[in-house]
């Protein structure tokens, strides 16, 4: 994408927080006075994030990903070209931060029925992200791919995640049985120096490997090789994705929340959370953006859901992310959002111009209830419904705001991802928590190790076995 300065401005992602304000929501809205009273906190959060940019030891390496990867990008593009030539399928084996990003970018930037397109109309091999250990799913994936013609990108920072490593064991066994040298069909994306995938790679005589930098945690890794390799294989313009992120970084330089969209979103959400709005709905009006909600849910929930502040005080903060899709969920969840408890903030993701307009032909002229639709386009319809839902929520006194992508492409998606990452970093700083750890997730990982007999977890295994369900409570 040739990004002139005027095209960048045209494609700028914006935040419209009109419907968060008391001007439009009355006493249910946030006043300018309340915003002003959070200025100091917002400035401090901005300062914390700016001063610690790129610091690996704080897991803030993600801030620099738009700038420090030119050699890696060149390598990824060359590798992607080879993969496209050689393989019929590309399968990501990973989970959490090692899978949600690739799945989100695929859905956002590829044809919605990509795998069903004939080969001549696809820019790359068929694409699958296997982020579960549902045995049926694994078996049924194997029903539709030929492993010998498949490139498996095993993504795991630790190389110790049971789900991913179980998948790896299955596919490496299948490849060996099919007479394939594993290293021909496998690419690892993993930590720089630690982790089992490095050892495995060495045992196999050197598997192609990409590095997930030390200071980049899983949920902040989409703009690292974790997301860039799968995207490049799909023919996604990864340079524009990174340029979009850098552009949003530039738009968020100011410590003044009114001039910094990510800081404004973080401050609004922080104020709302302090007022008991413990649910954050993300509602894209686009099927392409549907999985942005899954990616964001992890980023927001795993980063902010914490029980202790950095100075050791108990806190129990966080906001439960809810995934909704416009317009589909207008016909289900929106009833609750409009009339249920005042415990939510709804964030709409709107699209300025959709890739397709899809005209609605005239017809049913004798039935006014239907005929009025003729002559419009589906783009007009979805945009009208987006506006109508925001209007209805506002009339009902419900906090909502809109992030608008002028169109969906690599440059705007890059902006959106970086906006959410910065918003999360600012919000974490406001709560004074460790935004980058995940002891709750790791507790589950360790309990799984114990249950499946990993050495060193005997004590926990005993504890878990003692916690068997009590028959007295099974009905
Ligand atoms: O954000 C996180 O850290 C987690 O969701 C991890 O990405 C997830 O648990 C997978 O871990 P790993 O990449 O080590 O396999």
Q: Which atom of ligand 1 is nearest to the CA of 217?
A: 3
pLDDT, tens digit (0-9, with 9 covering 90-100), for 119-129: 999 999 999 99
Q: Which atom of ligand 1 is nearest to the CA of 155?
A: 13
Distance 253 CA to ligand 1 centre (A): 29
pLDDT tens digits, 263-280 = 999 999 999 999 999 999
The alpha carbon of 453 and the centre of ligand 1 are apart by a number of angstroms equal to 21
Which of these is catalytic: 130, 222, 302, 421? 302
Task: For domain 5-56+240-431, give the CATH superfamily.
Answer: Glucose-6-phosphate isomerase like protein; domain 1 (3.40.50.10490)
pLDDT (0 to 100) of residue 79: 98
The answer to whether 331 is a known catalytic residue is yes
- Antiparallel, parallel or unpaired: β 400-405 and 89-93: unpaired
| Annotated active-site residue in 149, 445, 454, 461 | 445
Name the β-bridge partners of 211: 190
Residues 227-239 pLDDT 10s: 999 999 999 999 9
The pLDDT assigned to 447 comes to 83
Kindly report the average pLDDT of the chain as a whole number.
Answer: 95
Q: How far is the CA of 168 from the centre of ligand 1 (A)?
A: 16
What's the pLDDT band for 453 if we cut at 50, 70, 90? confident
CATH number for the segment(s) 62-236: 3.40.50.10490
- Ranking 9-18, 142-151, 332-341, 436-445 by mean pLDDT, the lowest is 436-445
Taking residues 326-332, report their average pLDDT: 94
Average pLDDT for 193-210: 91
* Biggest CA-to-CA distance, the chain: 75
Q: Is the dihedral of CA 102, 322, 260, 431 positive or negative?
A: negative
302 in active site: yes
Q: Distance between CA 359 and CA 256 in Å, rounded?
A: 43
Q: Is 383 a catalytic residue?
A: no
Q: How far is the CA of 421 from the centre of ligand 1 (A)?
A: 16
pLDDT 10s digits, 84-100: 999 999 999 999 999 99
CA neighbor of 419 nearest in space, from 406, 403, 435: 403
Q: What is the pLDDT of residue 42?
A: 98
Q: Whose CA is nearest to atom 15 of ligand 1?
A: 156
State the distance from the centre of ligand 1 to the C-alpha of 398, rounded, in angstroms. 34
**Residue with CA at minimum distance from ligand 1 atom 3:** 218
CB 227 within 8 A of CB 102: yes
The alpha helices in 305-367, defined as continuous H runs, are 334-339
Residue 350: per-residue pLDDT = 98
Residue 151 near residue 91 (C-beta atoms within 8 A): yes
- Average pLDDT on 279-305 reads 98
Nearest-CA residue for atom 12 of ligand 1: 156
- The residue whose C-alpha atom lies closest to atom 2 belonging to ligand 1 is 218
Residues of the chain with CATH 3.40.50.10490: 5-56+240-431, 62-236
Pick from 97, 161, 439 the residue to mutate for probing ligand 1's pocket: most ligand atoms within 8 Å of its CB: 97
- Mean pLDDT for 225-253 is 98
Residues with CB under 6 A from ligand 1: 95-98, 156-158, 161, 164, 217-219, 302, 438, 441
Phi, psi of 314 (to 5 degrees): -65, 140
Distance of CA 364 to the CA centre of its chain: 42
What is the per-residue pLDDT for 242? 98
Count of C-beta atoms within a 10 Å radius of residue 374: 13
Q: How confident is the model at residue 287 (pLDDT cuts 50, 70, 90)?
A: very high
pLDDT (average), residues 251-265: 98
User: Measured in angstroms, how far is the CA atom of residue 331 from the centroid of ligand 1?
Assistant: 34
pTM for the full predicted model: 0.96
Burial class of residue 326, CB neighbours in 10 A (0-12, 13-18, 19+) = buried
> Is 279 or 452 the better-scoring residue by pLDDT?
279
- What is the reported pLDDT for 232? 98
3-state SS of 192-243 is CCCCHHHHHHHHCCCCEEEEECCCCCHHHCCCCHHHHHHHHHCCCCHHHHHH
Give the Å distances, CA to CA, from 242 to 80, 127, 246, 326, 410.
17, 22, 6, 27, 8
- For a substitution probing ligand 1, which of 61, 62, 92, 96 has the most ligand atoms within 8 Å of its CB? 96
Residue 286: CA atoms inside 13 Å, Cβ hemisphere, count? 30
């Amino acid at each position: 994408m040739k990004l002139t300065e005027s095209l960048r401005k045209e494609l700028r992602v914006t935040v419209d927080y009109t419907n968060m304000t008391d001007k439009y929501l009355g006493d249910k809205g946030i006043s300018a006075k309340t915003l002003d009273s959070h200025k100091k906190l917002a400035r401090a959060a901005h300062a914390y994030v700016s001063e610690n940019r790129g610091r690996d030891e704080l897991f803030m390496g993600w801030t620099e990903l738009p700038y420090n990867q030119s050699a890696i990008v060149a390598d990824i593009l060359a590798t992607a070209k080879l993969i496209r030539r050689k393989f019929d399928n590309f399968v990501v084996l990973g989970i959490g931060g090692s899978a949600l990003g690739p799945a989100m970018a695929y859905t956002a930037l590829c044809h919605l029925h990509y795998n069903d397109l004939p080969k001549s109309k696809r820019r790359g091999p068929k694409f699958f992200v296997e982020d579960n250990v549902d045995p049926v799913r694994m078996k049924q994936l194997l029903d539709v791919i030929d492993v010998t013609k498949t490139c498996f990108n095993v993504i795991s920072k630790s190389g110790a995640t049971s789900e991913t490593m179980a998948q790896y064991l299955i596919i490496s066994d299948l490849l060996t049985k099919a007479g394939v040298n594993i290293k021909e069909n496998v690419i690892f994306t993993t930590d720089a120096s630690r982790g089992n995938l490095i050892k495995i790679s060495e045992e196999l005589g050197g598997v192609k490997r990409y590095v997930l930098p030390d200071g980049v945690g899983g949920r902040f890794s989409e703009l690292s090789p974790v997301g860039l390799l799968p995207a490049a294989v799909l023919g996604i313009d990864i340079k524009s994705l990174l340029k979009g992120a850098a552009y949003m970084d530039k738009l968020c330089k100011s410590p003044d929340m009114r001039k910094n969209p990510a800081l404004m979103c973080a401050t609004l959400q922080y104020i709302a959370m302090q007022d008991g709005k413990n649910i954050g709905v993300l509602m894209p009006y686009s099927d392409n953006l549907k999985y942005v909600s899954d990616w964001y849910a992890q980023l927001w929930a795993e980063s902010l859901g914490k029980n202790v502040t950095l100075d050791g005080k108990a806190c129990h903060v966080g906001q439960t992310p809810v995934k909704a899709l416009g317009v589909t969920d207008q016909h289900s969840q929106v009833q609750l959002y409009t009339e249920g408890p005042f415990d939510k903030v709804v964030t709409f993701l709107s699209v300025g111009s959709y890739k397709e307009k899809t005209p609605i032909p005239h017809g049913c002229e004798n039935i006014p209830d239907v005929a009025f639709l003729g002559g419009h386009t589906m783009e007009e319809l979805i945009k009208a419904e987006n506006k109508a839902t925001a209007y209805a929520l506002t009339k009902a006194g419900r906090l909502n705001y809109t992030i608008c992508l002028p169109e969906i492409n690599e440059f705007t998606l890059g902006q959106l991802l970086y906006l959410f990452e910065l918003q999360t970093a600012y919000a974490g700083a406001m709560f004074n928590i460790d935004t980058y750890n995940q002891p709750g997730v790791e507790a589950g990982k360790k309990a799984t190790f114990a249950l499946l007999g990993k050495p060193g977890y005997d004590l926990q295994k005993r504890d878990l076995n003692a916690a068997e369900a009590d028959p007295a409570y099974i009905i």
